[in-house]
Amino acid sequence: MPISAAQRAALITATTVLLAAGCSDGGDDAADTTKPSGSPGLSALTSQKLVWAPCTAPSAAEGGGPAPSPLPGGTAWECSFLQAPLDWAEPAGETIELALIRARARDPEARIGSLLFNFGGPGGSGVTGLPGFANEYETLRSRYDLVSFDPRGVGRSDPVECATDKELDAYYALDFTPDDAAEERTLSDAQKKYAAGCEQDAGPALPHVGTENAARDLDLMRQVLGDDKLHYFGISYGTELGGVYAHLFPKNVGRAVLDAVVDPDAGVEEGALGQAKGFQLALDNFAQDCVDRGDECALPGTSVAEVESFVTDLLASLDKKPIPGIGARELTQTQATNGIAQALYSKEYWPYLEQGLEAADGGDGALLLSLSDSMNGRGQTGTYSNIQSANAAINCVDFKERYTLGQAKERLDKFREASPVFGDFMGWALASCSQWPVPGTWEHPDVSAPGSAPLLVIGTTGDPATPYEGTRAMVNALGKGVGIELTYEGEGHGAYNGGNACVKKAVDAYLLDGKLPATGTVCK
């Protein structure tokens, strides 16, 4: 059962969880730093004219593949580049190019403006992501130009690339849950080499790929696209980006939706622990579905505990001895765990997980390795996108914490308690930024946005990657009357594209007609 391109695109929305784990303090003062205020450099940037042209095929860093096909009715995708400051603290200084993609609104006379999308990661390419989701947003295109972009450091926007394809094959096959001092040294050396590769490739751009700069890029896009307000749809990490934007530019927020919400109160450790619990919950639900189907399920076990014991036993055996995967590549414990996590992002992918686990138990690791490759951005030709390199670069410049392997090891017990399957990986991943060559910015993002227009904040109760508890935290952090909470009682990462008619109706009503649901609304 091959995984389609659209399904692969759907899985870029998550904050990467297994291999990779400056915002000012306040409101109007922070926003003032990006106002033109007579700076000739910034004035020239805000008045730049975009040159739109037919989109070419995605770059290797964007994931490759063909140029996007026309939309229903024949509307063609258009692409352009925006000039933005490399360092927003020096807006008249060096600039970088940010890649954009657009599909024009179907009804120009009813057009509200541009609707900007960020599909998450961090590190996901919006230039490839938006066409992959296009059919899901065709209703919204009735009144909006659909626009997305490759954030700085991502895809075609000055991408951070930390290693060669061959080096990445070896890196992702490593044991990321070391069992002894020798394995710990191997992992530490590999992380150091990876971080050095990122620094060598990105050079002076590396300190500037963080979320605060990306939020300022969003406001520049708003101005250059000719919109008085930013209309925005953020998914997963895109909710964090949207919250930071609302904090910096509360008066510029238009109609905004945050779906699959990152907890803004969580630091590195709290966020990783929450994800360990979230993925364990999703695995519990997968196992319960298997039990409920009885003999129709290919996995052994008549209880959730027995199904999950089969999974942990399989992973333990792979730790001792990998099995054949794809070509000469083997399936290791790390890649198997990555593949399991990938399949838990949506209930739609549970059949792949069932088949992959059954096949691996029989000595065939191809399907789980394919799922892991999808998580890591590896195409069938062996070429990697830069999603994981960008993910590491953005996370490590955002967050101040620098856990050593020893400090991560001290916290393993609590992670194992949270998840027998994913705990070790999440715990050891705390050290992902330990060798990073530039400092981080914050302990957690400030998303307080007094005076902002309402943001519709959507959480899914069975979301593995951005656990549901983060939804209420975002609503509270945005401030009274700003965050409007909508709950989807279901499975998967992201509600709008999950096929629930209630969620889709509520989002469409807000974005198209300005009609918000009552806060606390529940869709089932």
- For the chain, report the end-to-end CA distance as a whole number of angstroms: 29
Rg from Cα positions in the chain: 22
Facing residues of 487 across strands? 459, 522
Backbone angles phi, psi at 14, to 5 degrees: -90, 150
SS3 134: helix
Q: Please count the other Cβ atoms lying within 10 Å of the Cβ belonging to residue 58.
A: 22
Helix residue ranges per DSSP H, 232-365: 237-248, 268-292, 304-320, 333-343, 350-361
404-407: long-range pairs with CB below 8 Å, 24+: 404/431, 404/434, 405/178, 405/184, 405/187, 405/188, 405/431, 405/434, 407/431
Query: What's the Cα-to-Cα distance from 272 to each of 145, 470, 507, rounded to whole Å?
Result: 36, 13, 29
The DSSP symbol for 68 reads: P
Residue environment code for 386-415, b if the CB has 16+ CB neighbours within 10 A, otherwise e:
bbbbbbbbbbbbbbbbbbebeebbebbeeb
Cα 390 from chain centroid (whole Å) = 11
Using DSSP bridges, classify how beta strands 253-259 and 455-462 pair: parallel, antiparallel or unpaired: parallel
- Contact predicate 385/62, CB 8 Å: yes
Helix residue ranges per DSSP H, 419-462: 423-428
Is 456 buried (19+), middle (13-18) or exposed (0-12) by CB count in 10 A?
buried
- Contact predicate 506/513, CB 8 Å: no
- Contact predicate 496/257, CB 8 Å: yes
Question: Which residues are catalytic, by number?
Answer: 236, 463, 493
The backbone region for 119, taken as left when phi is positive above 0, alpha when psi lies in -120 to 50, beta otherwise, is alpha
Which amino acid appears at position 327 of this protein? G
